Amino acid sequence: MKKGIWAILLFLGYYSHAQHMFFSTFFGASGYKGDLQPNTLSLLQAKPVGGIGFNYEITSRIFAKLEFDLARVNGDDKYNVKNRKRNLSFKSDVYEFSLMAEYNLFDLYDYKVTPYFFAGIAVFKFSPYYELPNGIRQYLQDYTTEGQGFYLGRTKYKLTEWSIPFGAGLQWSLSKNIRLALSVGIRKTNTDYLDDVSTTYVDQNLLLLNNGATAVNLAYKGNLLSGGLPYPTAGTQRGNPDDKDIYYFTGASLRFRIDAKGRQRKTETGLKKARVTCPKL
């Protein structure tokens, strides 16, 4: 994370003399889709997300964006009708660095508002945990709840992974130096362990022998419910390994041009005034 922060500072220092650079702040809500939250783009269990970044104006409609975001995602089977009896839950902080390209459908030097689209690549760090009533966190990867490291050749999952961010939004030109953007961005990941749930249950006694009673308690909590079932037999489906997890951000971004002189488009007769209405297709 420190290397990424230094990269942003160097990026700013190198381009700070230019009129093409915007500093941006982002605030909104984050969520995830996976084995504990099957609905895409649901804000039922949304948590806050915030970030900072820099947007470099390649052309008047194409931008390169470097951004750091800090979010939290969570899921709970009590909201999941299909797997409510499993009674699992998790939380995870997500630290993301992304490099994306943005495309404005209309030129904001000519118009006040435009739809825009973005896509790119990101690296993110996560670590799912179960939070006890007293606030103590039990980090789930440490307990290898699906037998990683000793069962059927399963290995520990990585806590730093790549994702593909993409999305769309609307952007307004509040002035020649300030812009406001509203967006929804999805992150398609390469992991199914954002929530620590992926494949099948390991044998209870084998898990107890290798990782102790806490691992057993974290792997299955259905027996804690009134009338709940005991720990499932080995091989019973716990999650869906064929459906990778995603997370997503939705919110607002305020962008400030670093060089206050701004960039303006000229015609033969002088400065071209921005139009208020949308163009005719």
- Per-residue pLDDT band for 52 (boundaries 50, 70, 90) equals very high
Amino acid at 201: Y
* Residue 18 or residue 169, greater confidence: 169
- Per-residue pLDDT band for 20 (boundaries 50, 70, 90) equals confident
Mean pLDDT throughout 24-32? 97
Residue 10: count other Cβ atoms within 10 Å of its Cβ.
10
- pLDDT above 90 coverage of the chain, percent: 79
Q: What span, in angstroms and rounded, lies between the C-alpha atoms of 217 and 92?
A: 19
pLDDT at 263: 54
DSSP the chain: -HHHHHHHHHHHHHHTTSTTEEEEEEEEEEEEEBTTB-STT--TT-EEEEEEEEEEESSSSEEEEEEEEEEEEEEEGGG-STTGGG--EEEEEEEEEEEEEEEESS-TTTBSEEEEEEEEEEEEEE--EEE-TTS-EEEGGGGTTT-TTTSTT--PPPSEEEEEEEEEEEEEESSSSEEEEEEEEEEEES-S-TTS--SBPPPHHHHHHHH-HHHHHHH--GGGSTT---PPPTT-B-S-TTS--EEEEEEEEEEEESSTT----EETTEEPPPBSSPPP-
- Per-residue pLDDT band for 114 (boundaries 50, 70, 90) equals very high
Check whether 14 has a pLDDT greater than 80. Answer: no
Check whether 3 has a pLDDT greater than 80. Answer: no
Cα end-to-end distance, the chain, whole Å: 45
Q: What is the dihedral of CA 95, 123, 100, 171, to 10 degrees?
A: -20
- Per-residue pLDDT band for 8 (boundaries 50, 70, 90) equals low
Judged by average pLDDT, the poorest of 14-23, 134-143, 185-194 is 14-23
Check whether 55 has a pLDDT greater than 80. Answer: yes
Check whether 221 has a pLDDT greater than 50. Answer: yes
* Residue 4 or residue 130, greater confidence: 130
pLDDT at 259: 73
Check whether 64 has a pLDDT greater than 60. Answer: yes
Choose the CATH number for 26-271 among 2.40.160.20, 2.60.40.1220, 3.10.180.10, 3.30.310.10.
Answer: 2.40.160.20
Domain ranges across the chain: 26-271
Judged by average pLDDT, the poorest of 2-6, 82-86, 98-102, 129-133 is 2-6
Q: Whole-prediction pTM value?
A: 0.86
pLDDT at 5: 52
Q: What span, in angstroms and rounded, lies between the C-alpha atoms of 67 and 15?
A: 15
Mean pLDDT throughout 232-238? 96
pLDDT at 268: 36
Check whether 273 has a pLDDT greater than 80. Answer: no
- Report the chain's mean pLDDT, rounded to a whole number: 89
pLDDT at 275: 53
Check whether 254 has a pLDDT greater than 50. Answer: yes
Check whether 2 has a pLDDT greater than 70. Answer: no
